[in-house]
C-alpha cells in the first residue's frame, strides 16, 4: 500500500504543479501572454529566417491562444486532482488501484501534450521558438515534459497486494 500512496502523491504533486501554473497565469496574465505573443508573432527569430510567414500577428488570436493554454492547464489540474483522489480512495487493493489509474493517466497525458506538443513541437518547431534567444521556452517545456512523463511511466507499473 505504501507504493500506491507514493504514486498517488506523485499524481497530486503534478496536480499542484498545474494548479500553480494556471493560478499564476490567471493572476499575472501579462507575463506569459507576452511570451505567447512573441512566440506567435515570431518577432525575435533569426532576421534572415524564411519561416516568418507562419507568424500570427492578430492580437485577438494571440489572446485566444493564451486563453486556450490557460484553460488546458486548469483542466489538467482538475483531472489530476480527481485522479489523485481516486487513487487514494482505491489504495486498499492492487486491483482497485489499477482500476482507478485511468483518470490520472489522462491528466498526465494532458500535461505531456501541453508541453511536448504545444511548446516543443508547435511553439518550438512551427513558430521557430528555438531561433529566439529571448522568448525560447523549449528547455523549460522539455523539463516539465520529463517530470510529468516520469510520473506517467511510474504510475502504471503494477504492485502486489
Is 42 within a domain? Answer: yes
How many domains is the chain partitioned into structurally?
A: 1
Q: In which band, very low, low, confident or very high, does the pLDDT at 87 lie, cut at 50, 70 and 90? A: very high
Is 161 within a domain? Answer: no
Is 32 within a domain? Answer: yes
Per-residue confidence (pLDDT) for residue 161, from 0 to 100: 79
pTM: 0.94
- Is 49 a residue whose pLDDT tops 80? yes
Rounded to an integer, what distance in angstroms lies between the CA atom of residue 100 and that of residue 159?
13
How would you class 50 by CB atoms within 10 Å of its CB: exposed for 0-12, middle for 13-18, buried for 19 or more?
A: exposed
The residues near 129 (Cβ < 8 Å, ≥ 6 apart) are 39, 119, 123, 135, 136, 137, 138
Domain containing residue 8: 2-154
Question: pLDDT by residue (tens digit) across 89-99?
Answer: 999 999 999 99
What is Dmax (Cα atoms) for the chain? 61
Is 94 within a domain? Answer: yes
Per-residue confidence (pLDDT) for residue 1, from 0 to 100: 76
Is 90 within a domain? Answer: yes
Is 58 within a domain? Answer: yes
- Is 74 a residue whose pLDDT tops 90? yes
Is 160 within a domain? Answer: no
Per-residue confidence (pLDDT) for residue 112, from 0 to 100: 98
Count of alpha carbons within 13 angstroms of residue 93, beta-carbon side: 3
Rounded to an integer, what distance in angstroms lies between the CA atom of residue 11 and that of residue 110?
13
- Is 160 a residue whose pLDDT tops 90? no
Is 159 within a domain? Answer: no
How would you class 134 by CB atoms within 10 Å of its CB: exposed for 0-12, middle for 13-18, buried for 19 or more?
A: exposed
Q: Which backbone phi and psi does 48 adopt, to 5 degrees?
A: -95, 10
Amino acid at each position: 500500500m505504501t507504493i500506491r500512496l507514493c504514486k498517488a502523491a506523485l499524481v497530486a504533486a503534478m496536480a499542484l504543479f498545474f494548479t500553480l501554473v494556471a493560478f499564476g497565469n490567471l493572476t499575472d496574465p501579462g507575463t506569459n501572454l507576452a511570451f505567447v505573443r512573441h512566440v506567435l508573432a515570431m518577432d525575435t527569430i533569426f532576421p534572415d529566417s524564411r519561416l516568418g510567414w507562419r507568424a500570427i500577428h492578430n492580437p485577438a488570436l494571440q489572446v485566444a491562444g493564451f486563453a486556450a493554454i490557460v484553460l488546458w492547464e486548469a483542466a489538467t489540474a482538475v483531472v489530476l486532482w480527481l485522479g489523485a483522489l481516486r487513487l487514494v480512495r482505491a489504495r486498499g487493493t492492487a486491483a482497485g488501484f489499477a482500476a482507478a489509474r485511468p483518470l490520472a493517466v489522462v491528466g498526465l497525458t494532458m500535461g505531456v501534450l501541453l508541453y511536448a506538443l504545444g511548446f516543443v513541437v508547435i511553439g518550438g518547431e512551427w513558430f521557430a521558438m528555438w531561433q529566439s534567444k529571448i522568448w525560447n521556452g523549449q528547455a523549460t517545456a522539455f523539463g516539465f515534459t520529463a517530470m510529468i512523463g516520469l510520473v506517467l511511466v511510474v504510475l502504471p507499473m503494477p504492485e502486489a497486494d
